[in-house]
Structure formats: structure tokens, C-alpha cells
């Protein structure tokens, strides 16, 4: 007997651009992102909001890629970084990724960085922005 992993419920028609149905119909497609159910998304967002260190954030980035195929890039913006809005957080294009999830993951990372600003400073230092400070 084989058990299949639960997959995310479809979004209401016209409300999302996730391309879930074409992804399910494509043979051999990477369906890992569909295993991010709403419950699992809530757990991920909570985990991202409660970051402990830069290495913790990097480990979560690796795990999101390994388990979901989702690339998250976090880099300082081109201009001055005065607030957490100055840090660019981008998600790689991935069919099956819900529109709301595309917004909630970067927002959760920003909230985590606001709670622990020393992580943001480490991130800036890792990108040589604070080398002369």
C-alpha cells in the first residue's frame, strides 16, 4: 500500500497565479512545492519569524530548496539599508507556488530580522556592507 503526501488545496479560480493544475498535468514535473499545505506554510512562517541566527536563516533557506525546490535569495538592496525594507528578499520562479505564499515568506523573514536586528547586521557584514564601520 502506498500513501501519497498531502498536497495543497487549490486556490479559488481566478484568485491565484500558481499554475497548480498545469503542473499536476505535466508528467515528470517537480511537485515538491505542492506539499507545502496551508498548515505547513503556517509552521514555516512561524519558524521564519523566530530566527535565532544568520546560520539558522541559511539552514532554513537550504531546507526550503531541498524539500520544496524553492530558492530564497536575501541580499542587501542597491541603495542604503536603513530599515528591513532595504533588504531584498526574492523567491525564485516556481510553478505551483501560491501568490499568498510568495508574499508571506518574505514578510515572515522581515519580521524575524526586525525581532533580531543582529541577524540583519550579520547579513550586511557577510556582504561587506559594514566592513568600514
Secondary structure (H, E, C), 103-125: HHHHHHHHHHHHHCHHHHHHHHH
Question: Which of 22 and 66 is assigned the larger pLDDT?
Answer: 66
The reported pLDDT for the residue numbered 45 is 96
User: What residues contact residue 106 under an 8 Å CB cut-off, 6+ apart?
Assistant: 89, 90, 91
Q: What pLDDT digit, counting tens, does each position of 30-45 carry?
A: 888 988 999 999 999 9
φ/ψ of residue 44, rounded to 5: -65, -45
Q: What pLDDT digit, counting tens, does each position of 53-83 carry?
A: 999 999 999 999 999 999 999 887 766 666 5
The reported pLDDT for the residue numbered 1 is 43
- Measure the CA angle with vertex 131, ends 129 and 133; round to 5°: 95
CA neighbor of 68 nearest in space, from 101, 21, 22: 101
Share of the chain above pLDDT 70, in %: 86
CA neighbor of 48 nearest in space, from 103, 101, 121, 105: 105
Is the pLDDT at 129 greater than 80? The verdict is no
CA distance 89 to 81: 13
Confidence category of residue 9, pLDDT binned at 50, 70, 90: confident
Amino acid at each position: 500500500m502506498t500513501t501519497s503526501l498531502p498536497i495543497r488545496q487549490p486556490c479559488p479560480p481566478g484568485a491565484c497565479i500558481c499554475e497548480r493544475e498545469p503542473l499536476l498535468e505535466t508528467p515528470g514535473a517537480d511537485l515538491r512545492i505542492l506539499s507545502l499545505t496551508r498548515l505547513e506554510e503556517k509552521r514555516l512562517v512561524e519558524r521564519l519569524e523566530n530566527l535565532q541566527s544568520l546560520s539558522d536563516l541559511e539552514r532554513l533557506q537550504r531546507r526550503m530548496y531541498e524539500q520544496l525546490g524553492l530558492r530564497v535569495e536575501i541580499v542587501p538592496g542597491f541603495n542604503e539599508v536603513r530599515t528591513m525594507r532595504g533588504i531584498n528578499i526574492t523567491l525564485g520562479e516556481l510553478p505551483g507556488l501560491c501568490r499568498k505564499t510568495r508574499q508571506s515568506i518574505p514578510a515572515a523573514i522581515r519580521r524575524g530580522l526586525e525581532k533580531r536586528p543582529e541577524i540583519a547586521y550579520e547579513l550586511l557584514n557577510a556582504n561587506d556592507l559594514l566592513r568600514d564601520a
